Chains A and B, each alone.
Chain A
Amino acid sequence: EPEVTQTPSHQVTQMGQEVILRCVPISNHLYFYWYRQILGQKVEFLVSFYNNEISEKSEIFDDQFSVERPDGSNFTLKIRSTKLEDSAMYFCASRDRGEKLFFGSGTQLSVL
């Protein structure tokens, strides 16, 4: 069964450093998402991406965040200058024209 893959599974970085989280959505999907989950808390929407542009973003997704689909397969989330409070599990998700989201296994980001 096709799946969303995310790399790396764990990322440790120093505060102020840039990180790029990578995702390969399911190949025929059209809509792409990033969510995050701080330990023990709810899954929070960050951004949705469709037709090569951001379709919606949350208040969390400020100027420090950016997304890119550099080629036909990858979908990346960049955090320009990480803060301690960016430590979380980051999930990529994708879907086709249906409403069901398919999630990757996540990247655990630890900012020290």
Chain B
Amino acid sequence: QQQVKQSPQSLIVQKGGIPIINCAYENTAFDYFPWYQQFPGKGPALLIAIRPDVSEKKEGRFTISFNKSAKQFSLHIMDSQPGDSATYFCAACQGAQKLVFGQGTRLTINP
């Protein structure tokens, strides 16, 4: 019930392409869904986040789509760049600071 399932594990996209990372959850009590980006040797950094009463949120080239009935949410990166190559984690939070993370997606953007 506390799991967040993330796919794919790894993804290779050409520069300018639109990588899509998907996450699914079971616990309907989750009320906050952030995405984190992690570069090697660094801690995760918040990229974008959404509440379940919103179906889509855009910040720059990053978009979260949220489907409450399906208990799924996804990250789209528009006009991807080699600098976007990193590991991406979806997460879910319920009422406090306890983040439940997906397993991560290693994204590579080829020039």
A pairs with B:
no
Identify the B interface with A (CB < 8 A).
none
Name A residues whose Cβ lies closer than 8 Å to a Cβ of B: none
